[in-house]
Structures are given as C-alpha cells and as structure tokens.
Structure 1
Amino acid sequence: MKHLFIINPAAGKGKNLKLIPIIEEIFKNKEDKYFIEITKCAGHATEIAKSYSQKGDYRIYSVGGDGTLNEVLNGMVNSSSSLAVIPCGTGNDFIKSIYNFSKNYKIEDLLMKIINGKEKFIDLCTFNYRYFINIASVGFDAEVAYNAIKVKKFPCVGGMLAYIIGIIITVFKYNSYKLKINIDEKVLELDGLLAAIANGRYYGGGIFVAPKARIDDGLFSICAIEKVSRLKILALFPKVIKGTHEDIKEVSFYQGSKVRIESDKPVAFNIDGEITKGKIAEFKIIKNGIKIIYP
C-alpha cells in the first residue's frame, strides 16, 4: 500500500509540520511506501493529489482544515485512490460526520487510527463544475463564513468563535434574497435568509445545521430558512449551532439528490468553506462517489 500525506503548513497556524517526524516514526518499521508533500500556495494540494492519483492507487491524507480537504478531493476524484482526513485546521467539520471527534483528541492517536483504518464508499457532491464533500450553502451563512475567514486572521480567533463574530458582523448589513429552489421535482420560492445543502452534518466550526444528514444515503439534506428580523437571527443561531432549530416556523427540511438555486441578484455561496458569488447554482450528489478512510 502507498500513502501520500499532503500537508498544508498554513492550516492550524503551522502546527501541522510537527506531524512529519511522527509520520516518519510510524512508517519506520512498515513495508508500505509513504510520501510527504507540503503545499506552497492555494490550489497546490489539488495539483499534488492529481499528480499522484494519476500514477497509481494511494491513500491520500489531507493534513489541514476543511479547505485543504476540498482541494485534495478535487485533485483525486475519478481515481481509485482513497481519501483520509487528518483534522489540523480551525473548523475540522467534515470529520465530525465520520468520527466521534472532540477538542480533546490527540492528533497522534487519531493519525495512527486513520493509517490503520478501513476504506468505505461515501457520497460525493458537485457544485456546478466543482466537487465538494461536506456542505454547500447560500445566503446569510455564506456571508458569515466570508466574515469569519477575515476575523480568523487575528490571533486566538478560530473555529466557533470566528463564526460567532462573523454572525454579529453580518447581522448588521445583510439583506435577504428572493430564492427559487428546485429539489428534484419540488419547487420552492422564498424570501430566504439561507439554504444549506448538506452531505455532512456540521459546518462553520461545529454548527449542527443538518442533524439528519447522512454521508452514504445518496441524498442531500436541505435546510431552508426564510427571512427573519435581525433580532430573531441572533435568537435563531444558538439553536442552529446545537441542531435544535427544526421547531422554528421559518425553518424547513427537505431531501433530494439534485438541487438548483436561482437568486434575483448575485448571492454568496459557501462550498466547503470556499466562498464564491453568483445567481444560479446546481448541486448533484454522486452516490458512492469517493472512498474514505474510517478510523
């Protein structure tokens, strides 16, 4: 078996590099071949994953945050390689859908469990012509994610704290959008606060937006929230964080394998933590589209 570790030194404020001697020690007495590559710029993880996966089958380890994971994913899709997640970023949201992950974990222990883990097929998702694996969203929370990315640049600000600060900033300048949402054969039209199209269950540093989402059922879990007052936004999000927002009247949940969203004006989309803007987006789920390593 061949192992490729793609390490983003910018994620986790540079702590990821301390894993290199640990990886070397683990493989010292193993016959398996391993390779360590360190990313140098945005998009480099995609290039590395693509280069290796075109040459053969690897276990490809994304060592960083959810942004690094998305880059690695987009480099290795349509190959026979398998994907492993070493959570070393500030959010580490996707792995929470496959592993009972806590803030008190020891990365060395988890690293060994993943190296010795089992492969399993899960669902793969597309946003227009790009792949993602966790959650895509449109509207308010995409704007929150954009603002959270900016505040993460400050010392000691990351994960949930950055997201909460992002909410506060966004509340005072956000306007709702007229959204037309097609879910398979169902059509919704709403003055929308946000819509989350979920494969995984968590985003934004631990926000439990899609409690019923499953990464291997061939369906998206869609959470749509209608426009509410600025004051109610501040009351609503603590429930979204805990995953107890189903009883709020402006919140609806749906399931489907294809979603198309049209907005009356350009709106922010958050795709596994990457922000883009547009008026039309199409989402599709590919059942059993990627192999992932379970610890």
Structure 2
Amino acid sequence: MKKKIKFIINPLSGGKNKNSIPGLIYDLMDQEKYDIDLHITTSEENTLAIAIAAKNEKIDAIVAVGGDGTLNNIARFLTGTEIALGIIPMGSGNGFARELHIPMNSSKALELINEFNIKTVDTGSVNNKIFMNVCGIGFDAHVTGLFAGSKTRGLKTYAQLTLKEMRTYKPQTYQLTIDGKKNIQKAFMLVVCNGTQYGNNAYIAPEASFDDGMFNITIVEDFKWFELVSLIPQLFLKKIHEAKNVKTFFGKSIKIMRNEPAFVNIDGESVWMNNELLIDLKPLSLKVIVPTSNFTDKNFNK
C-alpha cells in the first residue's frame, strides 16, 4: 500500500524563491511508493487548518517546505501522533533541519523523504506552545522580534541587528525554578535548548541532544562590550558553554518569572507572552524523517 504524504509549501518564508519546488516534488518523489498531496499556503491560519485536517486523514507524513516557523506551525499538531514530519529547509536559519543533518539542497532533501527513515525526538512546550529547537528569553527574543519586522532577511540582517542592539540592551533579573530548585539569575539572555543551535550553525548549547530527555539551559550573564570579540566566535566554534560568563543548567520542568511581559523566541519566531513562563519537556513526542546514515539510536544529533 502506498504511503500518503502531504507537502505544505510556504512561498514567503526565508525570502527564497520556491517556484521550482512543486515540479521537483513530482519529478523526484517515487510515486509508485507514495501518494502526493501538495498545498501552497501564505498564511499561518491556512497552514494550521491543513495540519489539523491531516490528523483526521490517514496521512503518513507532512513535509514542511519553509523555515523554522513553518515547521513549528505544522509540528505542533503532529506532536504525540503517528504522523511524521518531513523537512525541505528553505528558511533564514534552518536550525532544526541543520541539527538533523537534513540537506539544505532541496533535491537532496527530497531524496531523503523518499527513503522515509524515521526517528522520534523530544519536543518542549512554553505556556502550552510547542517548540522543537530553542526557547529564548531576553536579548535573543528581543532581536528576533525586531528581525520579524525587518524588510530584509538572512544572516547578515540578523547579525547587524544583533550588534546594534547589544550596545543598549540591559540584562534582566529572572526568578528561575528548575525541577523544583529555585534561584535568581541576572542574565543578558536565557535559552532553554532542546537542540544545539539557533540556525546558521550558531551553537547556543553544543552539548544538547534531541533524544536525551533533558533540556540544556544556557544563561549568558552580563559582559563587557570588548568581550564580544571572543563570545560571538564561540557560538560558531561550539564553545559558548566554555565562556566565563555563560552558565549551563539541566532540567525537564522550568518556571521563569520575569518583571513584565515580553517577546519569547520560539524556534526563531517572536511570540509575545506573559511574565510567567512554564516550560516542560515532552519526551520522544515527534516523529521526523531523517538521514539513514548519520544517526545512531541514541544522541543522534551529537
């Protein structure tokens, strides 16, 4: 019996042209093995409606063609189901796809979908909103909010905003409770990590793993302007956790109290949330189509 795969294409994500994608899908997918259903959507509401409807159909996988935001919109409805998430990464950062070693080349990503090798990964939720990769509070969420309103996309724009805002952004005080243990942290930013990176190979939690049943919580404390010379390169060298003003905690259930409502960075998308954040791990809750050769059963994103 053929497997049924639904493709959802977001032509607006990442500012990348996706006109060739429908043709590639029909050319490269093995239609003797798969029934293909293709949808093009430019709205979050329509994406959600398609994903919700798929839960009531006998669908084997939904393939997201877009960036981390598109993935998140789809994955939130696949969590806890037998429907697998496939990925053709075409966003600005593609953090989740890079973590899973999914090719950035669309043709190669489709070859991977044809193989249909599935792994099950952890996810998280913040105030009942699902995230797959990172949940950032503080500076990174502030920049993500500005980036969402920018007329241009890509790593260059994000880097320019980051350097500009670093000059004026002030650390905040957070009441942090991790698995029942309370402490107060003054932090430039606080990132709850299921995966290791934001995207574009910027590793905020190099030792995190998608299937270890644990969050890595990276806290970046206040720092001097000149310390950026070493801090930023450490993100890309997988050494940020070794910096003197960076702390790492581990946990499954996290409560964060901040002084006021503000943006939260959820898988690269800015979401306005209350001052109280409740973050919980959902172990082995999402099935994902991944490369056959790159992973073992345990800690496969190391």
Matching residue of 1:82 = 84
Matching residue of 1:52 = 54
User: What code does the residue aligned with 1:10 have?
Assistant: L
Moved over 4 A (4+): none
The answer to whether the 8 Å contact 1:225/1:252 transfers is yes
CA RMSD, aligned part only?
Answer: 1.9
1:204 CA displacement: 4.6
The answer to whether the 8 Å contact 2:137/2:265 transfers is yes
1:27-66 matched pairs, under 5 angstroms: 27=29, 29-66=31-68
User: What code does the residue aligned with 1:50 have?
Assistant: I
1:284 CA displacement: 0.7
Q: Which runs of 5+ in 1 are unaligned?
A: none
More displaced stretch, 4-13 vs 224-233: 224-233
When residues 72 and 29 of structure 1 are mapped into structure 2, their CA distance, relative to the original with a 3 A threshold, is: closer
Matching residue of 1:115 = 114
1:60 CA displacement: 0.6
Q: Deviations over 1:9-68 (max 9, x none)?
A: 112435223110111123464242110011131332222111112222321101000010
Equivalent residue for 1:175, pick from 159, 170, 186: 170
Structure 2 CA distance, aligned partners of 1:43 and 1:228? Answer: 41
Q: Deviations over 1:108-133 (max 9, x none)?
A: 02211223131111112111111111
The answer to whether the 8 Å contact 1:59/1:81 transfers is yes
Structure 1 CA distance, aligned partners of 2:74 and 2:228? Answer: 34
When residues 29 and 292 of structure 1 are mapped into structure 2, their CA distance, relative to the original with a 3 A threshold, is: closer
1:188 CA displacement: 2.5
Structure 2 CA distance, aligned partners of 1:192 and 1:286? Answer: 26
Matching residue of 1:260 = 255
Is the partner of 2:109 in helix, strand or coil? helix
Structure 2 CA distance, aligned partners of 1:28 and 1:214? Answer: 32
Structure 1 CA distance, aligned partners of 2:105 and 2:125? Answer: 32
Matching residue of 1:148 = 147
Q: Deviations over 1:154-196 (max 9, x none)?
A: 3xx51x2222112112113312111111111332311111111
User: What code does the residue aligned with 1:289 have?
Assistant: S
How many residue pairs match? The answer is 288
Matching residue of 1:197 = 192
Equivalent residue for 2:27, pick from 25, 28, 44: 25
More displaced stretch, 193-202 vs 53-62: 53-62
Matching residue of 1:208 = 203
When residues 100 and 131 of structure 1 are mapped into structure 2, their CA distance, relative to the original with a 3 A threshold, is: closer
Structure 2 CA distance, aligned partners of 1:40 and 1:171? Answer: 33
Structure 2 CA distance, aligned partners of 1:238 and 1:148? Answer: 21
User: What code does the residue aligned with 1:111 have?
Assistant: L
Equivalent residue for 1:69, pick from 60, 68, 71: 71
Asked whether 1:285 is paired with 2:281, we answer yes
Equivalent residue for 2:158, pick from 148, 156, 163: 163
Matching residue of 2:180 = 185
The answer to whether the 8 Å contact 2:205/2:218 transfers is yes
Structure 2 CA distance, aligned partners of 1:12 and 1:18? Answer: 15
Matching residue of 2:105 = 106
Percent sequence identity over aligned pairs: 26
User: What code does the residue aligned with 1:134 have?
Assistant: N
Is the partner of 1:43 in helix, strand or coil? helix
The answer to whether the 8 Å contact 2:148/2:270 transfers is no
More displaced stretch, 59-68 vs 37-46: 37-46
Matching residue of 1:275 = 270
When residues 254 and 40 of structure 1 are mapped into structure 2, their CA distance, relative to the original with a 3 A threshold, is: same
The answer to whether the 8 Å contact 2:87/2:109 transfers is no
The answer to whether the 8 Å contact 1:45/1:75 transfers is no
1:230 CA displacement: 3.8
Structure 2 CA distance, aligned partners of 1:62 and 1:133? Answer: 14
TM-score normalized with structure 2 length = 0.89
More displaced stretch, 233-242 vs 71-80: 233-242
1:249 CA displacement: 2.0
Q: Which runs of 5+ in 2 are unaligned?
A: 292-302
TM-score normalized with structure 1 length = 0.91
